[in-house]
């Protein structure tokens, strides 16, 4: 892991421990009872047997590499979610990590209220304590970066908690070691292998080359759906990845939307297989 990534995980861990001390033991039954609805099916929304391209539209306030506090001006999570839905995306991803990405749970809630699409909470989920809290905040799915959770027992508990609450999971893998761990954990926690994210993401050190993504996706079961996390800005980039890695037909697009005056138009152009 890079030193920046390790420092980020340490910061998140300290924040979670502080939350535990302030709020006490996680009252899962209360959080479940207080949520007014059940999760929308993220996995179902990104599933397709037709082979067509699927886009998950991302809401992210800070451009990767811009530094802490470099917030995107004038972004409205609710309006962005409406644009993402209008553009034809199958789901919404909301970066809720505050320190590095300027996000918040409030962004997630605003996006979900404004759209009919399922919403993925994109954050550093490293403790089972965060799973029911994500449920209570309104998430329909959570991102779990395998490399961010070095203890297999903890990783098992995160997936099991998500399964119990019917929260879908996107498992992010960065290399072959992550893939091997996920396969072993998936033997007991099937939700770990339903949707797997590959590529050089904004949140973790990974591999952005199409060949590397193809290699990682080939290690997963045939039933796994693959979500490309590498930055995407054009249909040509999608076509290049799909040619090298045919199993990858789902793409998370964040920066290209956050920094566009026409997010719906961007999504239309990415979905247009004739462009």
pLDDT digit string (tens) for 202-211?
Answer: 777 766 688 9
The pLDDT-based confidence of 232 (bands split at 50, 70, 90) is: very high
Return the pLDDT at 54: 96
DSSP 138: T
Structural contact between residues 120 and 92, judged by C-beta atoms closer than 8 angstroms? yes
**What are the boundaries of each domain within the chain?**
3-271
Return the pLDDT at 72: 62
How many Cα atoms are found within 13 Å in the side-chain-facing hemisphere of 134? 35
Q: What is the residue-averaged pLDDT of the chain?
A: 90
Q: State how far the Cα of 230 lies from the Cα of 210, in Å rounded to an integer.
A: 9
The pLDDT-based confidence of 69 (bands split at 50, 70, 90) is: very low
Structural contact between residues 203 and 145, judged by C-beta atoms closer than 8 angstroms? yes
pLDDT at 244 over 60: yes
Q: State how far the Cα of 112 lies from the Cα of 97, in Å rounded to an integer.
A: 17
- Name all contacts of 106-109 with Cβ < 8 Å and 24+ positions apart: 106/77, 107/59, 107/61, 107/77, 108/77, 108/137, 108/138, 108/139, 109/137, 109/138
- DSSP sequence for 64-124: TTS-TT-PPTT--HHHHHHHHHHHT-SEEEEE--HHHH---HHHHHHHHHH-SS-EEEES-
Q: State how far the Cα of 57 lies from the Cα of 114, in Å rounded to an integer.
A: 14
Of 208, 211, 130, 217, nearest to 165 by C-alpha is 130
In three-state secondary structure terms, 56 is: strand
Return the pLDDT at 51: 67
Q: For residue 3, what are the β-bridge partners?
A: none
CATH code for the part of the protein at 3-271: 3.20.20.70
Q: 142: part of which helix (H) or strand (E)? A: strand 141-145
pTM of the model: 0.93
């Amino acid at each position: 892991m890079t030193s920046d990534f390790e420092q980020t995980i340490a910061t998140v861990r300290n924040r979670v421990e502080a939350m535990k001390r302030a709020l006490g033991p996680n009252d899962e039954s209360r959080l479940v009872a207080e949520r007014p609805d059940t999760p929308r099916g993220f996995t179902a929304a990104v599933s397709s047997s037709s082979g067509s391209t699927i886009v998950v539209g991302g809401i992210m306030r800070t451009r990767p590499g811009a530094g802490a506090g470099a917030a995107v001006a004038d972004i409205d999570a609710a309006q962005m979610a409406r644009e993402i839905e209008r553009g034809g995306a199958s789901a919404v991803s909301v970066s809720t990590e505050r320190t590095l990405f300027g996000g918040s749970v409030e962004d997630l809630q605003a996006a979900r209220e404004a759209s009919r699409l399922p919403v993925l909470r994109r954050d550093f989920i490293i403790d089972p304590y965060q799973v029911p809290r994500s449920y209570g905040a309104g998430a329909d799915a959570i991102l779990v970066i395998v490399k961010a959770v070095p203890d297999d027992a903890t990783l098992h508990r995160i997936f099991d908690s998500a399964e119990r609450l019917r929260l879908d999971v996107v498992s992010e893998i960065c290399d072959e070691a992550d893939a091997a761990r996920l396969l072993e954990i998936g033997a007991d926690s099937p939700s770990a292998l339903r949707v797997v994210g590959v590529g050089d993401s904004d949140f973790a050190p990974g591999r952005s080359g199409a060949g590397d993504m193809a290699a990682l996706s080939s290690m997963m079961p045939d039933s796994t759906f693959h979500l490309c996390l590498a930055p995407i800005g054009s249909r040509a980039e999608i076509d290049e990845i799909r040619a090298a890695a045919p199993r990858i037909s789902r793409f998370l697009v964040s920066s290209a939307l956050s920094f566009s005056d026409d997010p719906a138009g961007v999504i239309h152009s990415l979905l247009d297989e004739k462009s």
